[in-house]
Amino acid sequence: MTQTQPVSSTTPAVPRGFLLPCLRCGELGALTLRLDSMTEDDAIHCPECDADYSLSDAQETVAAWSALLAWVQLAPPLREKAQFGSWPRPAA
């Protein structure tokens, strides 16, 4: 079991938080989250572009990116840069 450090007024503040981009405008660190109703369509608000969207919207975006990134991982490594006009490559 780990012990937690007591918080005191002499303890330097460690910045904490989530530096996430807005799904609409890309602004970093501007998003606000409604703590009173996180399941609403306007649970996330961006004051930069005045967009409201839901956590489900964010989850769909993350799922789409996750699928793309998983697919990219399946690509074979390139041994050398392919050149147009040399496919198929002549035997060495």
- Nearest approach in angstroms of CB 56 to Zn ion is 17
Cβ closer to Zn ion: 62 or 67?
Answer: 62
Phi, psi of 7 (to 5 degrees): -85, 125
- Nearest approach in angstroms of CB 10 to Zn ion is 38
Phi, psi of 68 (to 5 degrees): -65, -45
CA 34 to chain centre: 19
Q: Where are the alpha helices (DSSP H) in the chain?
A: 55-72
- Nearest approach in angstroms of CB 54 to Zn ion is 14
Cβ closer to Zn ion: 61 or 67?
Answer: 61
Beta strands in 6-91 (DSSP E): 32-33, 44-46, 51-53
Give me 13's structure tokens.
């503040």
Residues between 68 and 87 that touch Zn ion (CB under 5 A): none
Residues between 22 and 61 that touch Zn ion (CB under 5 A): 22, 24-25, 27, 46, 48-49, 51
Q: Which residues bind Zn ion (CB under 5 A)?
A: 22, 24-25, 27, 46, 48-49, 51
